[in-house]
Amino acid sequence: MMKLAAITLLCSMCVVCADECSADCASAVVKAMTGQMSALEAKQTKQIAELKKSLDSQDEVMRAMVMAVAAVMTMLALVVTYMFLHAKPKATKGVTKPTSVHMKYFNLQGAAETLRHVMALGGMEWTETGWTGDLSKAAELGPAKAFPAFGEAQANGELVANMNRGPVMVIDGNMLGQSKTQEKYLARCLGLMGASEIEAAYIDAITEHVRDIKDKYQKAKSVPEDKEKYFAETMPEFMGKLEKAIALNAGSGPALVGKTLSLADLTVYVFLVDFFSDKEKAMASIDNCPKLKASVKAVGENAAVAKYRAGRMTIAT
């Protein structure tokens, strides 16, 4: 159709033969136009091929870009995964030494004695409200009547932080209950929880081991035969187990953990030296435990601890 239209247009413009176009003229025109159209079609075909090639090239570039982005994302995912799996926990920031510490407790050693040793070894000065009374009547009358000041403190709401029990610590105006929590908090404040978080964990574990051994005594003490067996068999056995557990991460020198005395040493010391009325049997339980014996000796010879013990007025329980 394009060829026919072009021929018709050319013939209408011809001035040689006007309307009487000869066959030769028409043939020449057709031949000329056919050549031109063929050249035009070839050119168009070439242009289409080049355009297609260009589009294909752009597709390849896009595919390459997509693959590159995918590779980068994969690498980032691998990096993030590696960092997560190999991340080291950050040590908890050390707490600062309190400026004011006040204890509310009975005028007894009891549950507060390890805490007092912590403050003594850590160089922390503190004050106390010591409730006096008749310990021998506590079982019959109850603590609140045997120690009237304790009953008043309960009534006044002073002991809410420890569920109406003692001791309660007032640390820079903040009231804190639970003696074990108090010990660990102040030990951290005073540098007695090791040099790292893992050392703090070792120290904590030792205090819990001692608690377990103490609990066994609480169950046995009311029956004479069981109490005797505790000192003869149970306590030496478990103090030996404690010695082996400590040896896995033994400190340098007499310290049970790390390089310096800590809450672990104080807990063992108070347990062996103060907790039991039968001191000799308690100490005999570590006859075959050189690490524990060295720790107890070091705590007893520490100047700050010795000074506190020489001046303490609390009653043994």
pLDDT in the model for residue 9: 43
Please tell me which residue, 50 or 117, carries the higher pLDDT value. 117
**Alpha-carbon span 157 to 154, nearest angstrom:** 5
Please tell me which residue, 5 or 261, carries the higher pLDDT value. 261
pLDDT in the model for residue 50: 77
Give the mean pLDDT of 286-311. 98
Sheet strand arrangement including 101-106: 127-131, 101-106, 168-171, 174-176
| pLDDT at residue 84 greater than cutoff 50 | no
pLDDT in the model for residue 243: 98
| pLDDT at residue 71 greater than cutoff 50 | yes
pLDDT in the model for residue 26: 54
| pLDDT at residue 82 greater than cutoff 50 | no
DSSP state of 124: -
**Alpha-carbon span 212 to 201, nearest angstrom:** 17
Least confident piece of the model among 87-101, 123-137, 195-209, 226-240:
87-101
Q: What is the band of 17 on the pLDDT scale with cuts at 50, 70, 90?
A: very low
| pLDDT at residue 92 greater than cutoff 60 | no
**Alpha-carbon span 140 to 158, nearest angstrom:** 24
**Alpha-carbon span 137 to 98, nearest angstrom:** 37
Q: For CA atoms 242, 244, 248, 251, give the dihedral sign.
A: positive
Q: What is the band of 7 on the pLDDT scale with cuts at 50, 70, 90?
A: very low
**Alpha-carbon span 279 to 314, nearest angstrom:** 18
pLDDT in the model for residue 25: 55
